A and B are shown apart, each in its own frame.
Chain A
Amino acid sequence: MTITLISAGPMLTIQDAGRFGLRHMGVSPAGPVDAAAMALANALCGNEPGAAALEFSGPAGSFRTDQALRFAVTGSDCSIRIDTRLVAAGESHRLNPGETLSIAAPREATWAYAAFSGGIATPLVLGARATHLRSGLGGIEGRALRAGDRLPRGADSADTPCLRPARPLTGHRPLSESGPIRLIPGPQDDYFSAEALARLTECEFTVTPQRDRMAMVLGRTTLSAARGHDIVSDGTVPGSVQVPGSGMPLVLLAESQTTGGYPKIGTVASVDLARLAQLPVGAGFRFQLISRDEGEELLLAQRARLRKLLADLVAKPDSWMRSEYLLSCDLVGGFYDPGEILRPVMQGRGGETS
């Protein structure tokens, strides 16, 4: 059971839940930038939430299969075709041998996911299949996928129905948080003056083109650290908001390094990190401070909502296209330049230390 890539976009990688428990050895977990969206894509195909699937930014590419399978695309609306037939994101479809599946770039969000029934079954590397591009781990040879790659697929029961959410979702993303991006102060908020801390919540930030799976650089508002922009390196986590000497905050994402030498003014709440990472280039937003306890409560509640949504998926009727469902999908949303989101953030920062 193999999926063959006829063509591949510039940023197409294999991801699973991630590589955990090895941070003390310098191993970044990798995994999806938007874990909930990938979990939904997997669930729509009858897979475990953390099964290996494809993450893409920019066009995904085109695919063929040697055996019938089900697939689903989530994370963003995007144009999906089986041969010439247009099908919707956010629900699963059958793909038969001889047909070509083509998946275009995410339209409104930045990161989208394509899951296949049975999951992608490339070899485990340090316990996971997730690709970490910078250290060349996981996936296929630790790299982004390219035309000609063949993806082995896990066992799958062909009779299972295609699924969709009980109610259509906004943007084919399972979580519907809104409002400011919530932030928990620390661990080095004491490096910043009261004025800088005030700007953090009073001023608007924007998403710049300097972004990739490792981090995103924020624009419009700069922050200056009164005690300097170098610390003795300590641990970082996805969501850490580092402030280097440029004053432009840098939010660490799934592929971030495990330690860093910049002061961290705060950490984006887990419930809002994927929402921030999914904003298109140029989007403006504000931060709102919350406590660690609030962040934990919000996260537990969000996980419960996601579990319910995944448990409540329903079988699709046989008709492959129902008008009210198509109408709920934005099929003509605005495009933006996919190249803009692929510029590496930290090129040449390999010697970064304390």
Chain B
Amino acid sequence: MMTPKLLPCGDSAISLQLGETVDAATNARIIALAAAVKGLCDEGALRGVLDIVPTYRSLLLRYDPAEIRGRALEELLLDLAGRPALPAAPARLWRVPCLYGGEVGQDLEDLAAMKGLSTDALIAIHAGTDYRVYMIGFAPGFAYLGGQPAILDTPRLPKPRQLIPRGAVGIGGQQGNINSVAGPSGWRFLGWTPVRAFDPARAEPFLFRAGDLIRFCPVGADEARALEARSAAGEMIITPEDVPA
């Protein structure tokens, strides 16, 4: 982990960077720092922070300069970053049902052929891994998943497809994802989950947060359809379990 580095992002945001690569320890430190800043805001000890955005390797704070100046926030961030790391909170593990192949998982067979694996072997590798949510970004509830076994690493498509449905489970380079909203995408997709990472009408609109763990569990088409019906009715069809850090 490198020395904390402060990066100005204009006159209403600031970023504290702890590294320039994808690294679980750096990411965990960023998430802990985000929690510490949120704690200060919740206690009323820090005013004027409008958004706390942990990413792979840096923490972005949006602030209102009428309440707090960037210079003061810099001092506070450097002080927090210099403190010894707090013991990590237990991670939340989500078991995400996944229907492999089929219409949405349209790249499953191509991916297996590229890797010289049977589709069953590819599914076993994909479902046998605990992925880490490094950050939520790009679209509402969109989780960037790291920790993918190297054999699954696959470059994105040279030309993105115009419409990939919500729930598509994919691979983009060294990362995994679960599409949270329908849209264009250049990722390669091997399955589909009825789990809605984002549903603005649900009491808990967002399922995942940075630092969570995700394990895909293969399900058949009938089970996936039954789960989808419950999802569509606004039910949160999975709940996480705590795993010690």
Contact = CB atoms under 8 A, between A and B. Distances in A.
A137 interface: yes
A348 B180 CA distance: 17
Contact of B53 (A239, A258, A298): A258
A135 interface: yes
Interface of B: 7-13, 15, 17, 20-22, 34, 50-58, 60, 62, 65-66, 69-71, 135-142, 144, 156-157, 159-160, 162, 164, 172-173, 175, 180-181, 183-187, 198, 200, 205-206, 209-210
B163 to A, nearest CB: 9
Nearest to B26: A232
Given A25-B140, A270-B10, A292-B70, A353 B55 contact: no
Given A24-B53, A348-B159, A136 B70 contact: no
A65 to B, nearest CB: 29
Interface in A296-351: 296, 298-300, 303, 347-351
Contacts of A136: 181
Given A24-B53, A295-B10, A126 B205 contact: yes
A187 interface: yes
A235 B144 contact: no
A79 to B, nearest CB: 36
Nearest to A231: B20
Interface of A: 20-27, 125-126, 134-137, 184-188, 231-235, 237, 239-240, 257-259, 264, 267-270, 292-293, 295-296, 298-300, 303, 347-354
B11 A135 contact: no
Listed from nearest, the 10 A-B pairs whose CB atoms lie closest are A295-B11, A235-B60, A259-B137, A267-B10, A351-B186, A350-B184, A187-B7, A296-B65, A350-B185, A23-B51
B184 A235 contact: no
Given A258-B137, A259-B138, A24 B9 contact: no
Nearest to A20: B50
A137 B200 contact: yes
B15 A233 contact: no
Contacts of B184: 347-351
A292 B11 contact: yes
B15 A234 contact: yes
Given A269-B11, A293-B70, A23 B53 contact: yes
Contact of B56 (A185, A187, A232): A232
A352 B138 CA distance: 8
A234 B65 contact: no
Nearest to B71: A293
Nearest to A269: B11
